[in-house]
Structures are given as C-alpha cells and as structure tokens.
Amino acid sequence: MLSISPVQSQPVRSLSIQEVTLRAAGCELIRAEKKSGASTEGRTELRTLIDFARKGDTIVVTRIDRLARSIADLAGIVRELEAKGVALRATEQPVDTSTAAGKAFLGMLGVFAEFETNLRRERQLDGIAKAKAQGVYKGRPASINAAAVKSLAAEGVGGSEIARRLGIGRASVYRLLNGKAA
C-alpha cells in the first residue's frame, strides 16, 4: 500500500495524526505535503506518488478532501489511477475504488466537497460585499500616487521619465493619464 497525506491549512500536528492513521492502515510509503486540495497545481508529492504507483497498488488517504476539493480534479486523479490499475482508499470514509459501492460513495463525497468549497467562496464574497457597503473594506490601497503622476505630467515630464522617477511601470503612467486607471 502507498499513501498520501496532504494537509490543507491545518497545524503541523495534523500530519502526525494522519501518519499514525496511515501506518495503522498498513501503508509502507507515506508522502506528505502542505498544499491546498483545491487544485492539483503545485502538488509535487501527489504527482510523485501517482507516478510511483504501479498496477495492483492502493493509494490510501485519510479523507478524500485531502486529495481533491473539486469534482474535476478528483475525477482526473481517479481516472489516472484506474488507467494504471491502482485503487484508491480512504481510512475515514467508506471509499475503496476497487468496489462498486466505494466508487459510488467517492462520487458523492466529491460532489459534497465541491459544494462546500463553493459555499465557502459565496460566504466570503458576501462578507466582502457587506464590508464594502459599510465602508470597512476598500480593497487594496493604491500603489501609484496619481497626484504625483499628474503633477509631473503637468510640468511636461514624459511618461517614461515619470515611470522612472516614481519607480512604476510606463504602462501604468499612460493608463492613469488616459483616464483608464481604476
């Protein structure tokens, strides 16, 4: 058996708890990484584990949301494992892709994980909208001093020289002077 134990936004102690669980499940090799399950991008340990797995192996995770948070990513990982003849099993959920029931439950968990991620995103956007309405959230502070740009331009200084003096990009100067800056 192989394993992966990626931890998303959790304290370091979670790794040891997951490792104990995976060792108790009979895992011989454990790969761990602290990356979000929201995407497979940058998940080098996951990629290494999938590449290393051979026909007849089983990849074990403690929970499916440690592997992927979107249905697309989860389906892609499962398809890749199935093509290699590798099973996927979760220790804390009745998921085992070597059985029909396990495959069905895996699909349902994927749907709920993505639903939870979307709800969290909606709540965050609602909170930002509310804070903006109350005047609490104004976004990122401006990184360009618009008054300085306009003052130098009024003195007849060219765009390239304004950019050099203020340490900003030339395109930013022209966007601001042409009224296209946000």
User: Rounded to an integer, what distance in angstroms lies between the CA atom of residue 20 and that of residue 50?
Assistant: 21
pLDDT at 149 over 80: yes
At 39-96, the pLDDT tens digits run 667 788 888 888 988 999 988 888 887 787 777 888 888 889 999 999 998 888 888 8
Q: Say whether 5 is catalytic.
A: no
What is the domain class of 2-129 according to CATH? alpha beta
- Cα distance between residue 123 and residue 130, in whole Å: 10
What is the reported pLDDT for 16?
81
- Among the options 3, 5, 9, 16, which is catalytic? 9
Q: Is the pLDDT of residue 20 over 80?
A: yes
Residue 174 CA to residue 91 CA, distance in Å, equals 58
Per-residue pLDDT tens over the stretch 132-141:
888 888 777 7
